[in-house]
Homo-oligomer: A and B are copies of this chain.
Amino acid sequence: MSTVKSKNSLNPTLVVDRALEIVDAEGLDGLTVRKVADAFGVTPMALYWHFANKEALLAAVGDAVVSSLRVPDEGLPLEHYLREAMTSLVDVMRAHPSACPLVAQQIMQAEVGRDLTERFLDKLAIAGFDVERSSAVAHYAMQIAMTLVSREPGAELAFKPEDREAVLERKRASLASLPEDRYPRLRAAADAMIECPNTDEYYADGIAIFVAGVMADARALAQA
Contacts and interface: CB of A to CB of B under 8 A. Distances in A.
Contacts of A153: 135, 139
Interface residues of A, number: 53
Given A132-B198, A136-B206, A217-B212, A118 B186 contact: yes
Contacts of A125: 185
Interface stretch (A4-12, A34-42, A57-65, A188-196): A188-196
A39 B207 CA distance: 45
Contacts of A205: 133, 136-137, 217
Residue of A108, A134, A137 contacting most chain B CB atoms (<10 Å): A108
A14 to B, nearest CB: 27
A198 B136 CA distance: 10
B186 A132 contact: no
A75 interface: no
Contact of A206 (B140, B148, B198): B140
B186 A117 contact: yes
A93 interface: no
Interface string A117-154: 11001100100000111111111100110111001010
Contact of A211 (B174, B185, B213): B213
6 contacts: A109-B174, A132-B192, A132-B197, A132-B201, A137-B205, A140-B206
Interface of A: 104, 108-109, 114, 117-118, 121-122, 125, 131-140, 143-144, 146-148, 151, 153, 174-175, 178, 182-186, 188-189, 192-193, 197-198, 201-202, 205-206, 208-214, 216-217
